[in-house]
Amino acid sequence: MSSAPSSVGRPRSGARRLPSASAREEILDAAAELFAQRGYAATSTRLIAERVGIRQASLYYHFRTKEQILAELLEATVRPSLTHAESLGDLDAARALESLVRFDVGVLLTARWNIGILYALPEIATEPFARFRRERGELRAVYRRLAGSPTPGDLVFGLVESVIGMRRDVPDLPPAESLQATVAAATTRIIEATSMI
């Protein structure tokens, strides 16, 4: 009679961060927390591994570099909104823009960690982040198309992303639903104002 296979690898050095998550998801969560709180440069892969309770070698099984971890985290801040934008095909531009604004603000405000604060890092201009830059550019292009021209689209895109700074700087931030409605209403005013110019 054969016994059950033993688990592979060393046991974790503590309780799991997210009990129902995979090791990869736990690494991403720990990295997002550390990047958002300590900064990207001040966070090593060793520190991420320690936060998860695994050895650094185990982290490298899932991610070859710290850049790969950050790239995946950043892409996760824009990809859901791109997917949502693709589902808006039957709506007129104004309603589609409002829906996208509400959805995108929700993504940025309700993520467990405020990873959007890393958008301005100089490292983001390098090759490991090309996919993130491309996808963020695609999202900006959707805003421009729905707004009717580049300038109002860029204004709305910037307004949406301004919630990243608010999340960092405003201790008594209103609930996500309230900010979603406020940014959507401001979007309507921006489009109306720029159409009169």
Q: What is the reported pLDDT for 8? A: 42
Q: For domain 23-64, say whether CATH 1.10.10.60 is its number.
A: yes
Segments making up each domain of the chain, as ranges: 23-64, 67-195
**Which of the listed CATH numbers 1.10.3470, 1.10.357, 3.30.750, 3.30.1490 matches domain 67-195?**
1.10.357
Instruction: Please state, rounded to an integer, the average pLDDT across all residues of the chain.
Output: 91
Asked whether this chain's domains 23-64 and 67-195 adopt the same fold, the reply is no
Q: What is the reported pLDDT for 3? A: 46
Q: What is the reported pLDDT for 115? A: 96
- Tell me the mean pLDDT in the region 44-49: 97
- Tell me the mean pLDDT in the region 159-182: 96
Higher-confidence residue of 12 and 152: namely: 152
Q: What is the reported pLDDT for 89? A: 86
Longest dimension (CA), the chain: 81
- Tell me the mean pLDDT in the region 163-191: 96
Q: For residue 12, is pLDDT > 70?
A: no
- Tens of pLDDT, residues 66-92: 999 999 999 999 999 999 999 998 899
